[in-house]
Chain A
Amino acid sequence: MEHGESDIEALLEIRNLHAGIGDTQILKGIDLSIAPGEIHAIMGRNGSGKTTAANIIMGHPDFEVEEGEVLLSGENLLELEPWERAREGVFLSFQYPQAVPGLQVGNFLRKSVASIRGKEAAKGADFRGELNEAMDTLDIPRSFLSRYVNDGFSGGEKKRFEILQLLLLKPKLAILDETDSGLDIDGIKTVAAGINAAVRGTDSAALIITHYSRILEHVQPDKIHVLIGGQIVATGGPELAMQLEERGYEWLDPKAEAEGIA
């Protein structure tokens, strides 16, 4: 990605991001620009820095930014606390969502919507209608509301619950960290329908982090970025996912190329 491609209309703008955890540098100069209405995907092997990038954008306190900028509609996210970023419109669908025994799903959703979209949005028939519609889209039964957040949920239920939150919180930017892993093909289709409903035809944008091309068949990304060793080594259209599926990552790995094994 060239710096010159970014412009002031970008919803998310990441510039020269260097970050890590403790003394370990994980991201080594990331540049990324996502316009409103676009869906981008980041693909890469385990340990390439995908989840770190997601956590940094959301503001996880364990990660440290050494250099660079992360802007949401021109505002520097790095100066905001995680909850402020959420209220500004950043949403992270977690790879491993936390269980909170004792906190009912219904209450949690109402509080989250009130925090992010305002108290009025979480009240009355309109909210209930919105909730019912989102649950129908994701094939989630009403009894779900009285369960405790992610407590005893199957892998598929956790992922669907994350997407339910995405639909209700209506963020400007949705980051989906391996939301497809652990899902069967029906689950992937359901989750993809949720992502499309949240982004397509809106001014929102999504960044999908994944190992596999399966979900990308159902959520046609505008751009795919390949992250290797903390750097984006390639950017392309949907065809890049097919190439990765066929050839793996090695042909794009600068380290492998240097060693003559690509």
Chain B
Amino acid sequence: MSVSGLPEGDVVTGSFMQAASASSQWILRIEPGFSSQDPVILDIDVKGSSSILHLSLDVGRLSELELITRVRGSGKWFGLLRTGEIGAGAVLNDVVVCLQDEGTLLRVDSIAIGRDAQVRAGTVSSGSERTKADLRYRMGEPGGNLRVLGSILSVDSMHIDHHVEIHHDAPETFSRLTWNSACGGDSRTVGTGMLRVADGSRGADAAQIFHNLLLSADAEADSIPELEVREHEVVGCGHGTANGPIDEDQVFYLESRGFDPSEAKSTLIAAFLNSTLSEMGSDSLHDWLVGLLNSELRTPDA
């Protein structure tokens, strides 16, 4: 099997991909020049003890669309592999919403971004007890533009781990990663950001930032930004991380406006996650995502 976008020699991910594609592969092909105001929605209802899906994206050149992949259901174990090639000049809003009721989610994305293509890749994740995601984006042609966004809500005893790898392998490529995780109960989140700028990628411009909101004394959030820059003539390459509890001054401000302590807390968590959600897509998608996260916030004991 050959899948573009994946670094050579990645045995673990490659093995998973082979296993996944052997059992179930779906191809979503977007014709060149296709354009739609309405989002393409893929609903994945996870059932049973274990299941796996390989979704292959073939997004034609100069096409424009919003793709929403929703993972719901009560399966015990689900493996989602998404591979894809984004054609030259395409504009893609690619949002993956992972809200399984329980169980384990293993997700691997391997996306190759074509010349002058613009990709906004959003992840909304909560629900499953364990999530391990390995998201890789490669810009191998000049002019690629990538915005990676995460809104993670981890509660109870969840363990949510995302590794995001962004490869600048061509000149004049641009990427920004903003990852917001709200972590409560005795849950744990891990966010690893690997930024690789290859020799010859002149004019590359890359930055990543992780924000972690700690909602309880037992919650744990780790952010591990990593940089590997082999090109001197870059616009910038930076990373940062910030951890902290809910700001008591913000709580007092909301309480002074009549919010009770519980409303103030859930409003501030939603606002924190909304900072990244609001950039993920259209207004209708945003409203829907906010509604989803608000219902998640109402149920668990954060």
User: Which secondary structure dominates chain B's binding surface?
Assistant: helix
Q: How far, in Å, is A132 (CB) from chain B's closest CB?
A: 20
- Give which listed residue, B247, B255, B275, B278, contacts A82 with CB less than 8 A: B255
CB contact under 8 A between A83 and B255, given known A98-B250, A100-B268, A111-B267: yes
* Residue B271 at the chain A interface, CB threshold 8 Å: yes
Q: In this complex, what residue of B is CB-closest to A115?
A: B258
Please, which residues of chain A bring their CB within 8 A of the CB of B275? 101-102, 148
How far does the alpha carbon of A148 sit from the alpha carbon of B278 in the complex, in Å?
Answer: 11
Enumerate chain B residues within 8 angstroms of A75, measured Cβ to Cβ: none
Residue numbers in B under 8 Å from A92 (CB-CB): 256
Chain A positions within 8 Å of B271 at CB level: 100-103, 148
User: How many whole Å from B251's CB to the nearest CB in chain A?
Assistant: 9
Closest Cβ of chain B to A79, distance in Å, is 16
CB-based nearest B residue for A55: B252
Q: Is A163 close to B, CB under 8 A?
A: no
Q: How far is the CA of A58 from the CA of B258 in the complex (A)?
A: 11
Whether A86 touches B257, Cβ cut-off 8 Å, given contacts A100-B271, A101-B275, A102-B270, is yes
If A82-B252, A97-B253 touch, does A102 touch B259 (CB 8 Å cutoff)?
Answer: no
Tell me, in angstroms, the Cα distance from A169 to B254 when the chains sit together.
13
**Cα distance, A148 to B275, chains bound together (Å):** 9
Cα A208 to Cα B249 with chains together (Å): 22
Chain A CB within 8 A of B244 CB: no
Of B248, B261, B271, the most chain A CB neighbours within 10 A belong to B271
**Is B260 interfacial (CB-CB < 8 Å)?**
yes
A85 nearest in chain B by CB position:
B256
**Contact of B16 with A by CB under 8 A:** no
Cβ contact within 8 Å between B267 and A82: no
Instruction: From A82, A100, A115, A165, give the contact of B250 (CB < 8 A).
Output: A100
A-B contacts counted at CB < 8 A amount to: 73
Kindly provide the distance from the CB of A198 to the nearest chain B CB, expressed in whole angstroms: 15
Q: Within 8 Å of chain A (Cβ to Cβ): is B164?
A: no
Contact A86 B278 (CB under 8 A): no
Q: For residue B249, which residues in chain A have a CB less than 8 angstroms away from its CB?
A: 98
Does residue B274 face the partner (Cβ distance < 8 Å to A)? yes
Cβ-defined contact, A102 with B278, below 8 A: yes
A112's nearest neighbour on chain B, judged by CB, is: B257
Look across to chain A and name the residue whose beta carbon is closest to the beta carbon of B264. Answer: A83
Instruction: Find out whether the CB atom of B253 lies under 8 angstroms from the CB atom of A86.
Output: no
Question: In the complex, what residue of chain A is closest to B283 when comparing beta carbons?
Answer: A146
Distance in Å: Cβ of B170 to nearest Cβ of chain A: 33
Q: Which chain A residue lies CB-closest to B260?
A: A83
Q: Which residues of chain B have C-beta atoms less than 8 A from A165's C-beta?
A: 257
Question: Which residues of A have CB within 8 Å of B254?
Answer: 100
Q: Does A87 contact B (CB under 8 A)?
A: yes
Cβ of A249 under 8 Å from chain B: no
Q: Can you list, as one digit per residue, whether each of A96-129 has a CB less than 8 Å from chain B (1) or not (0)? A: 0110111100001001100110000000000000
A98 contacts across to B, CB distance below 8 A:
247, 249-250, 252-253
Using known A-B contacts A61-B252, A111-B267, determine if residue A102 contacts B273 with beta carbons closer than 8 Å: yes
Chain B residues contacting A3 (CB-CB under 8 Å) are none
CA distance A243 to B99 in the complex (A): 66
Q: Which of A86, A100, A103 contacts B255 (CB 8 A)?
A: A86
CB distance B256 to A86 under 8 Å?
yes
Residue-by-residue, is B225-260 near A (CB-CB < 8 Å gives 1, otherwise 0)? 000000000000000000000011110111111111
By beta carbon, the residue of chain B nearest A96 is B249
The answer, yes or no, to whether A81 is at the interface (CB within 8 Å) is yes
> Does the CB pair B258–A87 fall under 8 Å?
yes
A94 at the interface (CB under 8 A from B): yes
A94, B253: Cβ atoms closer than 8 Å: yes
Is B43 interfacial (CB 8 A cutoff)? Answer: no
User: Measured between C-beta atoms, what is the minimum distance from A60 to chain B in Å?
Assistant: 6
Q: Nearest-CB distance from B54 to chain A (Å)?
A: 34
Closest A residue to B151 by beta carbon equals A102
Q: Which residues of A contact B247 (CB under 8 A)?
A: 98
B257 CB to nearest chain A CB (Å): 4
For B256, give its contact among A82, A101, A103, A108 (CB under 8 Å): A82
Provide 19 A-B residue pairs closer than 8 Å at the C-beta atoms, listed in order of the A residue. A58-B256, A83-B256, A83-B261, A86-B255, A86-B256, A87-B258, A92-B256, A94-B253, A98-B253, A100-B254, A101-B271, A101-B272, A101-B275, A102-B275, A111-B257, A112-B259, A115-B257, A115-B260, A169-B258
Chain A residues within 8 Å of B, Cβ to Cβ = 58-61, 81-83, 85-87, 91-92, 94, 97-98, 100-103, 108, 111-112, 115-116, 148, 165, 169
B interface residues with partner A (beta carbon < 8 Å): 247-250, 252-261, 263-264, 267-268, 270-275, 278
The 10 A-B pairs with the shortest beta carbon distances in the complex, nearest first, are A115-B258, A102-B271, A103-B271, A102-B275, A102-B274, A98-B253, A116-B258, A112-B257, A82-B255, A83-B255
